[in-house]
């Protein structure tokens, strides 16, 4: 079931990533709303008012950033985040964290792809690094085993799996360089950073679930759990990827900043 779900969802994701524009923005917005909704359920803060407010704000942010109104999207996000925090009351810290998590995923995912020249290549690079880290970690962890990485938070993860995922991510950088999409040394460095960040994002989500005694964020994706379970590594990686690209080439050319050295 896990493999079948991946075989269905991966081509759809790649097709919409290639299309870019409003189609990619729509997918990312819907996923961000799903991330926020699942986060609220995990931390025990779910309510109609809170979920509804977050959904409206994230939808408005997605619309604004897709239309090129980034400043408006940020303002909407700040005001909306404050409203979400007020509605949450006793769980305001967790609700605010979840909203920031979903909003960051939304903005970074759309902005990286919006780079006209290297947006698609940059997005594919991040996706493949995260997937390679996940797959490499799975096989290395199962095949080698050994000491646990952080048993209190994630009992199944091992140091061998972490290293296996790290090595697999470097293979992605090597592949891009071999096809002339970027220089080898910088891409190896970036893939190494994103692989570590991706695994840290996975552990962060596991720690939150462990804190609230939850096994899966939902059962939305057969064999995979929820969106949080499947995208925790990607959210962390795409955010760091956008930051790297932004620091090098500016807010609207983050893709180029990530891929061109």
For residue 177, is it within any domain? yes
Q: Are residues 102 and 34 in the same domain?
A: yes
Q: Specify if 67 maps to a domain.
A: yes
Which residue range forms the structural domain that includes residue 151?
117-261
Domain co-membership, 152 together with 192: yes
In a domain, 6, yes or no: no
**Shared domain check, 154 and 101:** no
What does the pLDDT look like over 68-120, one tens digit per residue? 999 999 999 999 999 999 999 888 999 999 999 999 999 999 999 999 999 99
Instruction: Please indicate, yes or no, whether residues 196 and 243 belong to a single structural domain of this protein.
Output: yes
Higher-confidence residue of 6 and 142: namely 142
> Considering only 138-152, 194-208, 226-240, which range has the smallest mean pLDDT?
138-152
C-alpha distances in angstroms, 114 versus 172, 180, 233?
A: 22, 21, 21
Q: In sequence order, which ranges of 20-118 are alpha helices (DSSP H)? A: 21-42, 48-66, 70-88, 92-114
The domain tally of the chain equals 2
Domain boundary among 49, 83, 114: 114
Whether 132 and 252 share a structural domain: yes
142 inside domain? yes
Q: Is residue 1 part of a domain?
A: no
Say yes or no: 104 and 124 in one domain.
no
Q: In terms of domains, do 61 and 167 share one?
A: no
Q: Are 118 and 259 in contact (CB under 8 A)?
A: yes
For residues 26 and 93, membership in a common domain is answered with: yes
Whether residues 252 and 143 share a domain: the answer is yes
């Amino acid at each position: 079931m896990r493999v079948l779900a991946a075989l269905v969802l991966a081509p759809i994701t790649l097709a919409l990533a290639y299309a870019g524009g409003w189609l990619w923005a729509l997918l990312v917005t819907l996923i961000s709303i799903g991330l926020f909704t699942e986060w609220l359920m995990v931390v025990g803060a779910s309510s109609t008012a809170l979920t509804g407010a977050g959904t409206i704000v994230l939808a408005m942010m997605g619309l604004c950033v897709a239309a090129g109104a980034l400043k408006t999207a940020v303002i909407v996000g700040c005001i909306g985040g404050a409203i979400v925090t007020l509605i949450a009351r006793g769980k305001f810290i967790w609700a605010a964290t979840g909203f920031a998590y979903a909003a960051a995923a939304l903005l970074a995912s759309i902005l990286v792809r919006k780079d006209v020249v290297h947006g698609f290549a940059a997005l594919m690079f991040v996706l493949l690094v995260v997937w390679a880290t996940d797959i490499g970690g799975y096989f290395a962890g199962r095949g080698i085993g050994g000491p646990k990485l952080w048993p209190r938070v994630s009992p199944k993860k091992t140091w061998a799996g972490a290293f296996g995922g790290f090595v697999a991510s470097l293979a992605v950088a090597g592949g891009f360089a071999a096809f002339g999409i970027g220089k080898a040394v910088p891409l190896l460095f970036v893939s190494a950073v994103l692989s570590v960040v991706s695994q840290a994002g996975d552990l962060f989500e596991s720690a939150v679930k462990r804190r609230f005694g939850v096994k899966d964020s939902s059962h939305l994706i057969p064999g995979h759990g929820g969106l949080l379970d499947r995208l925790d590594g990607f959210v962390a990686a795409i955010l760091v990827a956008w930051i790297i690209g932004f620091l090098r080439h500016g807010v609207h050319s983050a893709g180029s900043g990530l891929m061109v050295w």
